[in-house]
């Protein structure tokens, strides 16, 4: 019987720089889905790759003194290395500089133009280079790009446009009549209410102000802009061609699921379906918009010194330790948070203590009491039934969660079974049974049930922790037929008379204090290097704000104060609570500078205080004023320290 197909993709990574661990989450998530679908018997095609055109790459290459192609070749190589290090099982890695992709993108552009869905006009608006996005004044947030928060620049140029407005009604009706198309539900509501129903503006799809992209064949001073270029990868990679598509395309399209970050849902839920509809191509089955992995509460950036790369995590925790953390940390409806403290805690608790300890001591006891032989079930007891029932339920739960893209729930259900097996050891006390020859039948049952439960864990983990899966199944002597998902419909796949291997620790506990000390030193060095790099490039001060009068300024009381005591606010990672001698009896001020200053850095220092600011409560702590700090070129905040000889309470004029 022919296998049922399953086509899944990641968003292609922008080849501007090496991606950090948060960017890597998406490809690990998608890999776990693809592996599990293969285990279920699907004919899976898993696509990932790199988006390699655009102004930003052109500018970066010029800065580095290389060609754009040399730059993207280097970054694409780094991304492939990350995929290898994370054990990613993609079927194809597409690059938008691939010759075949570029040719088909030109054909797509031409077809849309010839049928009137693309037209020539001019654009005047505001442009964000990092996001490669145009914005209107009303769309800005605090005068900056609403997506990344960076500065935007005025832009005016001749351009080609895609008629999004023509298809607005169709798109709205399609999304509302296909509730499974955009998940989770919150993303669907956001797209409909914030972007589609207010009215779609036609989309700029060509540029003339840079050259590093695919030329428009009939108007070569224009290059095809990112949306048609990058989004088309999902169909060009499997052989789509307006003049006649390949058998591979006919086999795998429509895509079952595009796995994308929540920040690019707009492009995939509006531009992409309209492009496909205009081309007469079927719409993908699902868009899954995942959340972000943050460092603590912040997005990762070199200037903050909090960037963590996949290879760093793999070096410290192993590939499966890294995969496990990413897959278990991200819930469906909230951003995930990576810190070294939480990474070590989850690794030591779940992997070393729970899973690793379960496998190690079960195999060790089998060797100790039965010379490594797997004995048949003999004397049974009611306590066995609960473990067996949960073991049989777990693969079903995992399949349901994977089908709903609830990855963290799938991983947790596996760990629930591992914890239950450890509890079963405590309940049955095999070390006590082993002392009584008359209880050998009961001991053989207990150890068989444990080994069989471990087989269930080993098989299911193949999608999430493939190397660990093989190690576990090898250690318990599972035969080939007992290593497949279909074998988990019955409890009893391990053959009596088989033999286990030697008990080898799967995960070594990590010394948290030592590791964090070394990690903090690395992050500090990274922040320093980023600051030095920013300084070399020069600092461009932000634009001045609205003019004020001398009377406005006179209302602000700036006073010199001395920090007498300082401590972190318990409920926040960003706030410090400072006790100040302000010359008037003292006061307490809370400031969001904990990521740049330790309490001991400030004690004894003179600072500048906004003394007449209305009191507020921050994380439940009262703050009576504000200390003055400046934005540094590296993105950090730096406290302004006045002359230390000034008396406390002195007024600034």
**Helix ranges, 52-145 (H):** 55-64, 68-85, 99-114
Strand partners, 95: 50
Rounded to whole angstroms, how far apart are CA atoms 399 and 38? 12
Give me the pLDDT at residue 478, please.
96
Residues in Cβ contact with 367 at an 8 Å cutoff, skipping those fewer than 6 apart: 500, 502, 503
Question: For 483-541, how does the pLDDT look when each residue is reduced to its tens digit (9 = 90+)?
Answer: 999 999 999 999 999 999 999 999 989 887 887 777 677 767 766 666 666 555 555 56
Domains and CATH numbers, the chain: 359-489 (1.10.730.10), 550-639 (2.40.50.140)
**C-alpha atoms less than 13 angstroms from C-alpha of 267 in its C-beta half-sphere:** 24
Rounded to whole angstroms, how far apart are CA atoms 27 and 423? 34
Whether 8 and 287 have beta carbons less than 8 Å apart is answered as no
Give the residue ranges of the chain where pLDDT is below 50: 302-303
Per-residue tokens: 459: 């098989």
Q: What's the angle, vertex CA 558, arms to CA 557 and CA 559, rounded to 5? A: 110
Give me the pLDDT at residue 197, please.
92
- For tokens 């003179």, name the residue: 606
Question: For 378-412, how does the pLDDT look when each residue is reduced to its tens digit (9 = 90+)?
Answer: 999 999 999 999 999 999 999 999 999 999 999 99
Whether 125 and 155 have beta carbons less than 8 Å apart is answered as yes
Q: What's the angle, vertex CA 22, arms to CA 399 and CA 270, rounded to 5? A: 75
Per-residue tokens: 545: 């704000």
Whether 361 and 512 have beta carbons less than 8 Å apart is answered as no
Give me the pLDDT at residue 617, please.
83
Give me the pLDDT at residue 521, please.
75
Rounded to whole angstroms, how far apart are CA atoms 37 and 403? 9
Rounded to whole angstroms, how far apart are CA atoms 313 and 326? 11
Whether 410 and 401 have beta carbons less than 8 Å apart is answered as yes
Rounded to whole angstroms, how far apart are CA atoms 45 and 209? 37
**Taking the CB of residue 462, how many other CB atoms lie within 10 A of it?**
22
Rounded to whole angstroms, how far apart are CA atoms 540 and 576? 29
Burial 149-180 (b: 16+ CB within 10 A, else e): eeebeebeeebbbbbbeebbeebeeebeeeee
Give me the pLDDT at residue 196, please.
93
């Amino acid at each position: 019987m022919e296998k049922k197909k399953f086509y899944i993709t990641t968003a292609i990574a922008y080849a501007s720089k090496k991606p950090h661990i948060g960017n890597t989450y998406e490809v690990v998530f998608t890999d776990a889905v693809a592996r599990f679908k293969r285990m279920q018997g699907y004919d899976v095609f898993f696509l990932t790759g790199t988006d390699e055109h655009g102004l930003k790459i052109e500018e970066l290459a010029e800065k580095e003194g290389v060609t754009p192609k040399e730059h993207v070749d280097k970054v694409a190589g780094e991304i492939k290395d990350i995929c290898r290090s994370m054990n990613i099982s993609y079927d194809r890695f597409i690059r938008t500089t691939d010759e075949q992709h570029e040719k088909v993108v030109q054909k797509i552009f031409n077809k849309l133009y010839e049928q009137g869905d693309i037209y020539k006009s001019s654009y005047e608006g505001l442009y964000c280079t990092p996001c490669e996005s145009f914005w209107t004044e009303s769309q800005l947030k605090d005068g900056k790009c609403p997506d990344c928060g960076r500065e935007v620049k005025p832009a005016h140029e001749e351009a080609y446009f895609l008629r999004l407005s023509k298809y607005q009604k169709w798109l709205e009706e399609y999304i509302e009549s296909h509730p499974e198309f955009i998940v989770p539900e919150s993303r669907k509501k956001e797209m409909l209410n914030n972007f589609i129903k207010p009215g779609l503006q036609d989309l700029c799809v060509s540029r003339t102000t840079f050259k590093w992209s695919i030329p428009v064949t009939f108007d070569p001073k224009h290059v095809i802009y990112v949306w048609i270029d990058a989004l088309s990868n999902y169909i060009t990679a499997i052989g789509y061609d307006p003049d006649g598509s390949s058998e591979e395309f006919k086999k795998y399209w429509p895509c079952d699921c595009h796995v994308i970050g929540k920040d690019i849902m707009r492009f995939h839920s509006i531009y992409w379906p309209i492009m496909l509809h205009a081309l007469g191509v079927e719409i993908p089955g699902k868009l899954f918009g995942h959340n972000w992995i943050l460092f603590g509460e912040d997005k990762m950036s070199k200037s903050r010194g909090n960037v963590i790369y996949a290879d760093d995590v793999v070096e410290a925790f192993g590939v499966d330790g890294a995969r496990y953390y990413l897959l278990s940390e991200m819930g469906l409806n909230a951003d995930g948070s990576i810190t070294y403290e939480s990474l070590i805690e989850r690794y030591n608790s779940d992997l070393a203590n729970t899973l690793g300890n379960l496998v190690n001591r079960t195999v060790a006891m089998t060797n100790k009491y039965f010379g490594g032989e797997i004995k048949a079930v003999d004397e049974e007891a009611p306590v066995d039934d609960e473990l067996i029932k949960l073991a049989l339920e777990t693969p079903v739960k995992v399949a349901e969660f994977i089908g709903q893209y609830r990855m963290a729930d799938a991983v947790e259900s596996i760990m629930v079974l591992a914890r239950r097996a450890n509890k079963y050891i405590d309940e049955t006390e095999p070390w006590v049974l082993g002392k009584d020859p008359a209880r050998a039948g009961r001991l053989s049952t207990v150890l068989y049930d444990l080994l069989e439960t471990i087989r269930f864990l080993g098989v299911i983990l193949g999608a999430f922790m493939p190397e660990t899966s093989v190690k576990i199944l090898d250690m318990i002597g599972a035969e080939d037929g007992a290593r497949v998902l279909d074998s988990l419909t019955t409890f009893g796949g391990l053959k009596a008379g088989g033999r286990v291997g030697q008990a080898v620790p799967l995960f070594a506990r990590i010394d948290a204090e030592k590791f964090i000390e070394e990690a903090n030193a690395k992050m500090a060095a990274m922040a320093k290097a980023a600051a030095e790099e920013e300084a070399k490039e020069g600092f461009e001060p932000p634009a001045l704000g609205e003019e004020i009068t001398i009377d406005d300024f006179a209302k602000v009381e700036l006073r010199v104060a001395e920090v007498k005591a300082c401590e972190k606010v318990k409920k926040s990672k960003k706030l410090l609570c400072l006790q100040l001698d302000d010359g008037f009896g003292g006061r307490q001020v809370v400031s969001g500078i904990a990521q740049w200053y330790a309490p001991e850095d400030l004690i004894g220092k003179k600072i500048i205080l906004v003394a007449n600011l209305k009191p507020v409560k921050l994380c439940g702590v009262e703050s009576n004023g504000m200390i003055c700090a400046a934005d540094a070129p590296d993105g950090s905040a730096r406290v302004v320290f006045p002359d230390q000889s000034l008396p406390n309470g002195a007024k600034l004029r």
